[in-house]
Amino acid sequence: MGPNLVNFLTEIPKTDLHVHLDGSPRLSTLIELAQEHHVDLPAYTEEGLRALVFRETYDSLVDYLRGFPLIVRVLQQPGALERIAYEFAWDCLNEGVLYIEPRFAPQLLATATLDVIGVLTEATRGLERAKKEYNAQQSVRDGQKPSFDFGIICCAMRTFMTDVSEYYHAFCSLHQDEPQALVYQLAASALFHAAIKAKKDHGLPVVGVDIAGQEAGYPAAEFQAAFEVAHKNFLGVTVHAGEAFGPEAVFQAITDLHCERLGHGYHLFSVDKVVKKERPAEFVAGLVQYVAKRRIMLEVCLSSNRQTMTELRDDISKHALKDMLAHGICVSLCTDNRLVSNTTVVNELLLAIEHFALTPTELKTMIVEGFKRSFFPGSYLQKRKYVGQVMHYYEHLERKYGLEDWYLSEDSMFEDQRRPQQPQTEAGRETGTLAREQGREQENENIDSTVGACLWHSSGDRIRSLSPQWTRARARGVKMPEGGEATDDGKMNRGLREGRRRLEMPPEVFM
């Protein structure tokens, strides 16, 4: 994995569609603000906090979440949220992430002096300041680079931390005579109504809603009424589902909450976690095909999953990402929490390339799909133009780095010699046959993501894609010069290359 690949991954335009703002502050800023506002921390040095709280590895999901109350107490201080949002945007920009949808729970950060809409306003000010600074650059104004933009996703919580939230403490006090489950549902409805008001009456870039927190015991179906309100008011819907619970949680998120994207979706293929369906394998196979055909995006967070799931701790290649790719599911790689997981989008891409043999075609598909499936705050035509600018700039960088995919025979266009179509995880194998039978048409829909049979290779100052077909091509007399460009001596069909190029359709085709 040479430095030129890292440079390429840093320069290409990217998204981060699943990132918690309250899990992504700069550690130095967290310490500074805590000292300024007299907020207790277990240590006041970066080294101390990384050793005690924000570690490289965690014992469990509970251990992983232990640092959030500390961050929340700091974010509740006057002016803290705006600063952290501003710095967060620049941290993303500095690694080429040009569109973000930070999510957080405004009710968790609200205080006696700052209501939910005030929280959203403060976060917007910080993000907007970074946006104006970046977009004022000459290269952006001239159209040489895509601009930066963002939308905010409001998170409802399945359960509350009343001891760290003035809002939740007051809300529970007002509803102390009602069942706890109902209180959580009412709070979600209150948040979504506030989000709608923030968007319609205050012009804030609230683009979607989500629900986070413990899945077990708090099924998505219980929050159906709240999400119905969001859906009927045209907010995008993404749902934390399938992270710690099985396929039925994903099913509920889709059928009851109208979700267009899934946060994590890790257990989508886990037949063994199906509880109520009589024919689990058939149910999972059908669900997988529904997700794939409807282009319901999975927001995949490799580092976060590795830190919270014991089965991935020593071998991230066991992640269900391989099954997602094998079935043509729409995937975007995300950070989840930049501080808590100590990661970046570039790092997540490198993990996928190193451990899942992600091809250049799959990388490009992921990147573009991230922009396409975003809850972009502008109009449809503005979004389409923006995605077009992203694709144009991406292709410019492909040429700059000499990145090429080689498709040297007609049979190579219709087979993936690198990754078998049968899922590779144990649960995935159980549904593989059914999924393939139900998904033949999906192969044609997703040919762009399956024709690649390439491995990454860094050579000189260019990046090249090597495939098994190279040996075959040389035997047929096709010359492969060092610059990475093929010369055709009559035995390579130029029309084949042109046909493949047309498979990479403009963004409006699938939008």
- Contacts of residues 302-306 at CB distance under 8 Å and 24 or more positions apart, as own/partner, are 302/333, 302/348, 302/351, 302/352, 303/335, 303/336, 303/341, 303/342, 303/343, 303/347, 303/348, 303/351, 304/64, 304/335, 304/336, 304/337, 304/340, 304/341, 304/343, 305/243, 305/264, 305/266
β-sheet bridge partners, residue 211: 156
Q: Could you tell me if 242 and 250 are in contact, meaning their C-beta atoms sit under 8 angstroms apart?
A: yes
H or E stretch including 169?
A: helix 166-174
Q: Could you tell me if 368 and 98 are in contact, meaning their C-beta atoms sit under 8 angstroms apart?
A: no
Block residue for tokens 């990147």: 367
How do beta strands 97-104 and 261-264 pair?
unpaired
β-sheet bridge partners, residue 264: 241
Q: What is the pLDDT of residue 425?
A: 53
Q: What is the pLDDT of residue 493?
A: 39
Q: What is the pLDDT of residue 456?
A: 52
Token pair recorded at residue 28 = 């130095």
Kindly indicate whether the domain formed by 3-400 is annotated with CATH number 3.20.20.140. yes
Q: What is the pLDDT of residue 430?
A: 54
H or E stretch including 463?
A: strand 462-466
d(CA 414, CA 451): 6
Query: Is the pTM above the cut of 0.85?
Result: no
Spatial CA neighbour of 243 closest among 273, 223, 222: 273
d(CA 309, CA 506): 38
Going from N- to C-terminal start, the domains of the chain cover 3-400, 410-510
Q: What is the pLDDT of residue 243?
A: 83
DSSP state of 482: T
Q: pLDDT means per 10 residues in the chain (511 residues)?
A: 83 99 98 97 97 91 89 97 99 99 98 97 99 98 97 96 91 95 97 98 99 86 96 98 88 96 96 92 97 98 94 94 96 98 97 92 95 98 98 94 51 37 51 50 40 43 43 36 37 37 38 42
Q: What is the pLDDT of residue 62?
A: 81
Residues 6+ apart with CB under 8 A from 338: 19, 23, 24, 88, 91, 344
Residues 6+ apart with CB under 8 A from 75: 22, 25, 81, 84, 109
**10 Å Cβ neighbour count for 481?**
8
d(CA 377, CA 45): 38
DSSP state letters, 64-130: HGGGHHHHHHHHTSTTHHHHHHHHHHHHHHTTTEEEEEEEE-HHHH-BTTB-HHHHHHHHHHHHHHH
Q: What is the pLDDT of residue 431?
A: 56
**10 Å Cβ neighbour count for 470?**
17
d(CA 107, CA 121): 13
